[in-house]
Amino acid sequence: MARTMTDSIRETLRALPHFQALDTELFERVVACAELRSFERSETIFLHGDRARAFFVVRCGSVRVYRATPDGREQVVHHLRAGQSFAEPAVLSIGRYPVNAVALESPTELVAVDARFLELLKGEPRLSIAIVSSLSMRLLGLVERIEELSIASAPARLAHYLMKLPAQGTHEHLVVQLPLAKKDLAAHLAIAPETLSRLLRRWQDRGLIRSKGRTLDLLDTRILLAIADRDE
């Protein structure tokens, strides 16, 4: 019954795509590289330029990975939830974090896998194949994100985001929950909070959605999809 910290680590790591196919012995050696860390809302996990001693897997809570410019603006690169990993590239190549990461909820628990993992990698082709594949997927995801951020208009980005959210209900009347505060969602979509607010208002007036706090009813998915990949 006693649930050790190592059990938590084991459970979190095993759920990762990288590690699902590993045999027990190798997997335990990975677990031995890891420790559990806990963060509070708004607590910094690492900063741009810090020495990259570990990569992370989200056990619970959520994390924002972002870049900041000298003039104080920032751009969200990733938003991570339970079961997702981040910062592998920093550990596996240059050894410094190229971005900032901050916890968004209290508590946010992360499994930190440190540099001993690199040694494992060198001796284990199966492990490196898994990592290659997972990094490749991540790359493809970033290419998507480039498209989202630079081709699409603000309404298209929002509609696209809403339609990708896990939904409940029938095809013509979906109900979704926003996983972020609206101001954080705005940051993720690279728009001002005011713009987000105005868009939701407009669509509600047109009968496309209904909005109550973080719960949205998508009433006309047909038109929303059209907005998502054409343009408003």
CA distance 185 to 188: 5
Of the residues 5, 21, 47, 129, which one makes contact with a copy of itself according to CB under 8 A: 129
Nearer to DNA by C-beta: 127 or 152? 152
Task: Please report which residue ranges of the chain form alpha helices under DSSP H.
Answer: 5-14, 24-31, 88-92, 116-123, 125-150, 154-164, 182-188, 193-205, 221-229
State yes or no: residue 190 binds DNA (CB under 7 A): yes
Shortest separation between residue 231's beta carbon and DNA, angstroms: 8
Return the amino acid letter for 92. Answer: L
Of the residues 150, 194, 212, 213, which one makes contact with a copy of itself according to CB under 8 A: 150
196 binds, among a copy of itself, DNA, none (CB under 5 to 8 A by kind): DNA
Q: Which two tokens stand for residue 207?
A: 């009968």
Within 8 A by CB and 6+ apart from 142, the residues are: 77
State yes or no: residue 195 binds DNA (CB under 7 A): yes
Shortest separation between residue 191's beta carbon and DNA, angstroms: 4
**Contact set with DNA (CB under 7 A):** 73, 153-155, 181-184, 190-198, 200-201, 211, 213, 232
